[in-house]
Amino acid sequence: MEIRAYEEKDLEALKAIHARQGFGYEFPDLGNPLFLTKLVLGREAGGKGIVGASLLRLTAEAYLLLEPEAGTPRERWQWLLGLHEATRREALARGLEDVHAWLPPAIAGKFGKRLTRLGWVRDDAWTPYCKRLV
């Protein structure tokens, strides 16, 4: 077994593995600079007989800090709208493709509806897991 950095010559083998998995999402653009880690698993030295890859794409986790006692509900909504748009522009300028938010259960129902109004989608199609790097 050999684990090494991805090379362009590996592309067709990885596309074939992806197709055989049949998960229904497009093969990622490995030329995208948001892919920070691209490792290939080969059965033997030199990368012949590729059997897998591990890919890490940069994404962002959103946090909102907004004083709950300040202003009126209408003012807080306007503040949220301002922050939301400014943050969207900043994320795009940095080249990000997506932002994720995990809502505490106590606010998920009501605040989730507000996020939906702003174009966010609840994505329950895939089950998220987290690996804490300590």
For residues 73 and 90, state if they share a domain.
Answer: yes
pLDDT at 43: 86
Same domain, 76 and 48: no
pTM score: 0.79
**Residue 42 lies in domain:** 2-57
Residues 49 and 97 in one domain: no
* Residues of the chain under the 50 pLDDT cut: none
Task: Give residue 45's pLDDT.
Answer: 65
CA distances in angstroms from 86 to 12, 50, 79, listed in the order given: 40, 43, 11
Give the domain-ending residue among 24, 40, 57. 57
Q: Which residues contact 2 (CB under 8 A, 6 or more apart)?
A: 41, 42, 43, 44, 45, 46, 47
Q: Is residue 133 part of a domain?
A: no
Q: Which of 57, 78, 103 is the last residue of a domain?
A: 57
For residue 79 the two structure tokens come to 């503040």
Give me the phi and psi of 61, to 5 degrees please. -105, 130
Q: pLDDT tens digits for 62-90?
A: 999 999 999 999 999 999 999 999 999 99
Same domain for 67 and 108, yes or no, is: yes
Residue 41 to residue 52: CA distance in whole angstroms: 5
